[in-house]
Amino acid sequence: AMSIDRRLVLKGLAAVGFAMTSLRFAHADDSVGLPLTASQTQAAVTPLVTGSAHDSEFLAGVQAAAKAQGLVQNEAIQLRGLDAAVFSRLRHMLQDGKPATLVGLADDASATLILDLVRSAGGRVISTEHHRLASDLSAGQSAQALGSSLVLQSGAATVVSASQAAGTAHVSFCCII
The Cβ of residue 80 has, within 10 Å, a number of other Cβ atoms equal to 10
**Cα–Cα distance measured from residue 142 to residue 164, given in angstroms and rounded to the nearest whole number:** 10
Q: Crossing angle for the helix pair 4-22 and 108-120, nearest 10 degrees?
A: 20
**Cα–Cα distance measured from residue 29 to residue 121, given in angstroms and rounded to the nearest whole number:** 8
The Cβ of residue 106 has, within 10 Å, a number of other Cβ atoms equal to 22
Mean pLDDT across the stretch 53-62? Answer: 91
Residue 176 has pLDDT above 80, yes or no: yes
What is the band of 105 on the pLDDT scale with cuts at 50, 70, 90?
A: very high
What is the band of 89 on the pLDDT scale with cuts at 50, 70, 90?
A: confident
Residue 42 has phi, psi (to 5 degrees) of -105, 15
Q: How far, CA to CA in Å, does 117 sit from each of 16, 65, 84?
A: 10, 25, 14
**Cα–Cα distance measured from residue 75 to residue 47, given in angstroms and rounded to the nearest whole number:** 7
pLDDT at 46: 93
Which residues have a Cβ under 8 Å from the Cβ of 108 and sit 6 or more positions away?
8, 12, 130, 169, 170, 171
**Cα–Cα distance measured from residue 140 to residue 58, given in angstroms and rounded to the nearest whole number:** 8
pLDDT at 154: 57
The Cβ of residue 157 has, within 10 Å, a number of other Cβ atoms equal to 20
